[in-house]
Amino acid sequence: MLLKSIEAYFFGIFPRSEKLIDITRTKQNYYEDLLMESIKIVEYQKSRGLKIISDPQITWEDTFRPLALSADGISVNGLNRYFETNTFYKVPVISSKPIIKEGSLKKYLTRGSSLISFPDPFTFSCLSKDKFYGDKKALIRGIGELLASFASEVNKEGYKYLILKAPSYGNCEFKGYEESIKDALSMIKSSFKGEVIAHVYFYKNMESLNFLASSAIDVIGVDMYSFQIDEVKKMDNKGKGLALGVINGLNTKMEKKKTIIDMIEKINLNVNKLYVSNNVDFEFLPQKFALKKVDLLSEISGDIL
């Protein structure tokens, strides 16, 4: 490969152990148990030699709730299915201009982490209920401003990598909202002094990859189980870094290391930074399989280096 380095990480919410799941069913107050397991997953990553340490976000009930509960102007109400998975999320309801409650998010963070995942502003807007703006362009900008405040807060806590989970670009029309999305992403990037990585997954939409390449983000994340190698090679990445989602978070089947390495080496884009990661959150898997896939991420990175 014509690359100086490659690094591995996982993003998103990590699954809880069977023991922890039992605890959440039998105890009323289990916050400390969630936090203890989160710390264990942080230490596990370090023991596997990963340099980028993902916050496992085990304290997060879903991808939106901690952010909604840490902001004025947003409540949560009603359950919706999270895309075509067997998980659900509480719908964020925007009733006034969303403003961060300073320090509120801190209880959801795991010390020792350098990477955290937020929903991207377009996905947040698509999966929310707007009772304030009455205009989606304004909603996207308002969510972008809120996420920028959260980005600044986690930056101060030592996080160096911000993942923006962006599954809605494949099933929610973003044309007509490009300027608003770019404004929102620019606000986030300006507030975060580190790498901002947008991961597109669940659905294939080449236009979304090329669009994000023209935005303020640093790295484009691609679900390699939705997109084909030849399609990614044709992408106009405009010099952005690339994160390849080569580990399948929707399947307990273990990938073969050689197959994954061959896939990575076939991607010959002009990128100055290349990362390997999962394609979607590991929360859809039993924890024992998710841990094995973390091991594989570490092994792949080491082999290519």
The CA distance from 193 to 156, in Å, is 9
The CA distance from 213 to 185, in Å, is 12
The CA distance from 20 to 198, in Å, is 30
Residues 48, 295, 205, 119: is their CA dihedral positive or negative? negative
Cβ–Cβ under 8 Å, residues 201 and 159? no
Q: Identify the three-state secondary structure at position 16.
A: coil
The CA distance from 275 to 258, in Å, is 17
| Both structure tokens of 48 | 């596997």
pTM: 0.96
What secondary structure, in 3-state letters, does 19-87 show?
A: HHHHHHHHCCCCHHHHHHHHHHHHHHHHHCCCCCCECCCCCCCCCCHHHHHCEEEEEEEEEEECCCCCC
Q: Identify the three-state secondary structure at position 187.
A: helix
pLDDT in tens, the chain (305 residues): 444 468 999 999 999 999 999 999 999 999 999 999 999 999 999 999 999 999 999 999 999 999 999 999 999 999 999 998 989 999 999 999 999 999 999 999 999 999 999 999 999 999 999 999 999 999 999 999 999 999 999 999 999 999 999 999 988 899 999 999 999 999 999 999 999 999 999 999 999 999 999 999 999 999 999 999 999 988 888 889 999 999 999 999 999 999 998 888 888 666 878 999 999 999 999 999 999 999 999 998 865 54
Q: Which domains does the chain have, with CATH numbers?
A: 6-304 (3.20.20.210)
Alpha helices, H only, the chain: 18-26, 31-47, 65-69, 121-126, 136-156, 178-191, 206-213, 229-233, 257-266, 287-304
Q: Identify the three-state secondary structure at position 238.
A: coil
The pLDDT value recorded for residue 256 is 94
| Both structure tokens of 126 | 């698509």
Pick the closest to residue 118 from 77, 157, 154 (CA basis).
154
For residue 223, give the H/E element and its range: strand 219-223
